[in-house]
Homo-oligomer: A and B are copies of this chain.
């Protein structure tokens, strides 16, 4: 049997991309529940593994620290809290997984463990947590800090954060609840244990107030591309979300991270690597290219520069717009930066030209007919570059609708994608084992 492809849907709780809201078909209802429920139903109809809601804890500040560009162009703002959004998407579906982004930088592990344990119970085991360490000064400044802490410090906190949350999920044995109305015995105290954790960042006594989640641990998603990020993801993550400008860099990343997982004693197949893809689907190649160009025209150059500044967490206005991009220290998201540098070098772009390109750019752009896009998806999976993709939408809900009615049936015809869900939990559908109690010991550094 050919390898099955997994699909997630990248779906901002707010506006999409740099100018997604401007598309003629884009729904303006992005602050309503109906908007998200409608997309959840489309994605479940398309048998997607999960919807994935990214997050950032600020209005992006850029180009000299101003939030004006973000508000003016609707770039990266508004951004709703992902938890109520995915809760409502889950309430309207029965099989679709729902993954929410929550930062380890600006939350407490007890609250986060409880939030996801709750979501996992209420969804019958369909929840996922996208673990991020945050990357903007503007976020740090909403939580008492002047600047973003250095990456090592952020990952140190994340490491301890994951140890505490997984131990909290393990604080109740799977069979701790008895619920015998006759005798009055609700639970077995000997099956529940405290943590008494005392670490560098956290002191947490436990136990959690919520019984062990149906999935053992909700599905852990991570997107770190840096050395710290890869080491962290290879141990803790069930799913890695990434972004690659070329098949070659994707294969190198895939190979590296799977080897790291194996070196840590994990079955590499228990770690799914899903790069970003942004399909623009046309009747044929020419139609798709025309649609892609029409969409690029909606993006303002200023919004693009602002978005790049936001992604790499530095003010690019201080560099000569007609000069090349100089190397930057301590960038926010290494993956994005690496991609920009590669592309800028290859095409000999100035800072100004980079900004123009970055505004219209989408992650893992795939432009073509439904069949051509299915070809690329198959090619990447067969080349050992991906276990599937996280599909980004140029505009919503239209882009998801087009993918579900165009590309999904094509992949199904080729025997590469499910026509019915394999099971009831997100782990079932992703082909991931349910972690036993105590699994955290094998995952930590």
Chain A: residues with CB nearer than 8 A to chain B? Answer: 13-15, 19, 21-24, 26, 28, 31-33, 36-37, 56-59, 66-68, 71-75, 77-81, 83-85, 87-88, 90-92, 106-108, 110-111, 114-115, 117-119, 121-124, 138, 141-145, 176-177, 179, 181, 184-189, 192, 194, 202-211, 298, 300
Contact = CB atoms under 8 A, between A and B. Distances in A.
B80 A21 contact: no
A187 B73 CA distance: 7
Nearest to A141: B205
Given A111-B107, A186-B21, A91 B181 contact: no
A192 B59 contact: yes
A300 B124 CA distance: 32
A111 B33 contact: no
Contact of A115 (B67, B84, B187): B84
Contacts of A92: 91
Contacts of A300: 184
A145 B250 CA distance: 45
Nearest to A75: B186
Contacts of A59: 192, 207-209
Given A19-B184, A56-B209, A88-B88, 14 more contacts: A32-B124, A59-B209, A67-B207, A71-B176, A72-B187, A73-B185, A73-B186, A75-B186, A81-B111, A81-B118, A84-B122, A138-B205, A142-B206, A144-B202
Contacts of A80: 114, 117-118, 121-122, 209-210
Given A110-B142, A141-B205, A189 B81 contact: no
A176 B59 CA distance: 14
The 10 closest A-B pairs by CB, nearest first: A74-B186, A87-B87, A68-B189, A141-B205, A81-B118, A91-B91, A79-B209, A71-B187, A80-B118, A84-B87
